[in-house]
Amino acid sequence: MNKIDQRPLFFDIFKLMLPLLVLLFAHAAANAQNYTTEEQDCFTLVQGRVAYDKLGNKTWSESNIRNLCRGTTNPIETISCFRDKIAAGTAWNEAIPACSPSALKPTPSGLSGNWAMYDGNGLPYEKDAVITQTGSSVTLNNGYGSEETVGLDGFKLNVRTWKLTGTIKSDGSRIDWSNGFYWVKKQYTRTEVQNSVDDRTLTLRNTGAINATINLYRADRKVFDNTPVKSIKWVDGGASPSVTFGTAIQPGTQLEVEITMKVGGLGGFWDLLIYRATIAANSSNLCFEVGGTAYKPTAKPCATTQAVEADYVTFRNEVGILSYMKLDYTQITSDTDTAKKAIRTDDTVLGMERKVYRPRDAANGAMTLTINGVTADEPKLKEIRLGVGDLFSGCYKVWGSAITPKVSPCSISSSARTIKFWNNSGTTAKLVAIYDQNKKVSTNDIEVTQTESIEIPIGVSKSPVSVEIWAYGIDRTRRLVTTMTASGSFTGELCYKIEGTSISPNASTCDDVVGDTSVETRLIRFQNEAGYDAQMIVTYFVDEVIGGQKIPMAKTVSTGMINGLGGKLRLLAIPKVVSQGMQITIAIQGSTTVKNDIWSTTLPGNFADNPQPCFKVWGTLFDPQGGKCAP
């Protein structure tokens, strides 16, 4: 038979097979349409890798593939599990259920039953939802005519037709939906529920100009469980909504409450914690009140509610820059795991006040508070390290100027020992106090006319307090201007000041005393009545024991260069007890005069300070004069 004779027979056979081919392709297309995307990916993987192979002496078929892939959300995990099982000698009919999605990912059980439904404000719906669970599949009926059947993805639900995802609590008692609504599993029949409803109420009174949310929690929950049992969300000023406890909270349960305020910034809007407290068990109706503004929000229990507020640190913005407080700590994330975490206030402006509460989920360890400016490099203005057991309290403020902001305690107790520092110079300066031998506390770098006080704790050591005063030069290098000493047992307030220029600063107490005031002293007076800068330098001797012998050691104290305009003066403190037989030298020097070594003299070591010895300078740059003050 020639080729021409064969062609009609070929087409006749093709025409006979065409309906069968159409049915086969239609069947395959129908099967593909019945698959989810993940299931189809799984199907393709099986076809490409293990389909129709003789594995474990069992031949694959399409129904085998369908059984394995049905319900999968992780195709690669499913196929890897199957291949491992087959390689280990497991028969295919045993490997399929072992590698099914429900086996690979634990899913909750016992979901069947009635569920109370609540909206985003915690208000209950009249009707119940009903869930029917069959293995890893659940049928959800919302009680209002909508019913969907979906597969469980671990403890997650994805109801595409409702455009919602849900998270099931680990004990299967609650489902939180992505729109803020939630369902709570009912543990009773309808008749029992009516007789067991807790008619106590939770009320949030908003008398302020903020948007607030209140969340109620079980106090005995795990520290990493942040699921509220009752909420009233996004309440505007003037509103006072209430919700009943229903069956979510049984009488006798100890509770915790958190109140948040809606804040916004460049990153969007979020809820900022403004109040946290513990409520006693067996409390009656609960009521909390919020007020104030976004600058200084307030939150407290109403008069009928007893609550104990948690520990917190206060942060105030008293300067014209954006700034915030941040807390870094170690967070407990599960029964066995921890992670680093940071919580922070919003970006605050002048006049704002915020609270940072001790984290409930903090592991036992050190925490660090930082106060930062909001700029491109977010400079760290202050760091406060909190060790284990340290008090989580206090108040810090950012103040000063927008160019040179500073951070200090908001206030100091009137009963505390303090040192005040006053900058009356032409340069930036700071004061450093060293107490109990090696402990330090310092002021910020403060500008001209500014003052700042620091607290000196009462220590067990009676050693003197060393006071260092530092100044910054024109090139921003820092140098020590003077060191003075005060009694370690002082009470009340000490006060020091810096004067002069960035080139020639000088410092003293606010009473114009320079020197060691930790012992009983005598004072020598120096007055500048000239038209140039001048200083007085006093050298004296005190006995020190070296190698078992008393040896006179020279000590020097200087007024520093002080300006004569206005008749400035200084008092130099000299110990009452000095080395016997050693004279005290007085030297007066000028600055940029024709004769800088202006005048000198001596005093006996046992000089009397009544009347007080007094020396001065006068004259001009071209005729500087020095000597004793006129009687």
At 480 the pLDDT is: 93
Give the confidence band of 563 by pLDDT, cuts at 50, 70, 90: confident
Beta bridge partners of 551: 544
Give the number of other CB atoms < 10 A from CB of residue 268: 7
d(CA 353, CA 298): 10
pLDDT in tens, 301-352: 998 888 999 999 999 999 888 999 999 999 999 988 999 999 999 999 999 9
What tokens appear for 241 in the block?
């909504």
pLDDT in tens, 172-186: 889 999 988 999 987
* The 353-357 sheet, strands edge to edge: 353-357, 312-317, 395-400, 405-409
Of 524, 507, 500, whose CA–CA distance to 470 is shortest? 507
Reading phi first (left if > 0) and then psi (alpha if -120 to 50, else beta), residue 515 is in left
d(CA 117, CA 164): 15
At 152 the pLDDT is: 82
d(CA 372, CA 375): 9
Q: What is the mean pLDDT of residues 561-584?
A: 89
Give Cα 374 distance to the centre of its chain: 15
Q: What is the mean pLDDT of residues 267-272?
A: 82
What tokens appear for 355 in the block?
């609270």
CA atoms within 13 Å, Cβ hemisphere of 138: 25
Of 178, 180, 193, whose CA–CA distance to 128 is shortest? 193
What tokens appear for 452 in the block?
């700042």
- Buried b or exposed e, range 480-501, using 16+ CB within 10 angstroms: ebbebbbebebeeebebbbbbe
d(CA 208, CA 274): 13
Torsion angles phi and psi, residue 546, rounded to 5: -130, 120
Give the confidence band of 61 by pLDDT, cuts at 50, 70, 90: low
**Amino acid identity, position 359:** P
d(CA 275, CA 434): 38
Q: What is the mean pLDDT of residues 4-33?
A: 43
Give the confidence band of 582 by pLDDT, cuts at 50, 70, 90: very high
Sorted by sequence, the CB contacts under 8 Å of residue 324 that are 6+ apart come out as: 315, 344, 345, 346, 347, 348, 371, 372, 374
At 247 the pLDDT is: 63
d(CA 497, CA 115): 72
Note whether 425 and 498 are within 8 A (CB). Answer: yes
Of 69, 60, 63, 66, whose CA–CA distance to 91 is shortest? 60
In three-state secondary structure terms, 95 is helix
Which uninterrupted H or E stretch holds 65?
Answer: helix 62-69
Sign of the four-CA dihedral 29, 31, 33, 39: negative
State how far the alpha carbon of 46 is from the alpha carbons of 82, 255, 293, in Å.
Answer: 10, 53, 62
Which uninterrupted H or E stretch holds 93?
Answer: helix 92-98
Of 577, 451, 594, 469, whose CA–CA distance to 530 is shortest? 594
Give the confidence band of 254 by pLDDT, cuts at 50, 70, 90: confident
Which uninterrupted H or E stretch holds 528?
Answer: strand 521-528
What's the DSSP call for residue 249?
S
Note whether 382 and 332 are within 8 A (CB). Answer: no
d(CA 43, CA 51): 9
Q: Can you give the C-alpha Rg of the chain in angstroms?
A: 41
- Is 70 exceeded by the pLDDT of residue 31? no
At which residue do the structure tokens 């009340």 appear?
Answer: 492
Torsion angles phi and psi, residue 352, rounded to 5: -85, 150
Give the confidence band of 436 by pLDDT, cuts at 50, 70, 90: confident
d(CA 324, CA 398): 9
DSSP character string of 554-571: EEEEE---B-TTTTEEEE
Beta bridge partners of 509: 496
- Is 80 exceeded by the pLDDT of residue 535? yes
Note whether 298 and 292 are within 8 A (CB). Answer: yes
At 320 the pLDDT is: 80
**Amino acid identity, position 100:** S
pLDDT in tens, 468-504: 999 988 777 889 999 999 998 898 999 999 998 888 8
Note whether 587 and 600 are within 8 A (CB). Answer: yes
Note whether 51 and 60 are within 8 A (CB). Answer: yes
| pTM higher than 0.85 | no
Of 397, 335, 327, 324, whose CA–CA distance to 359 is shortest? 327
What tokens appear for 301 in the block?
């229990």
pLDDT in tens, 384-419: 888 887 888 999 999 988 888 899 999 888 888 999
Of 420, 472, 418, 466, whose CA–CA distance to 447 is shortest? 472
Beta bridge partners of 446: 429
- Is 80 exceeded by the pLDDT of residue 278? yes
d(CA 175, CA 128): 13
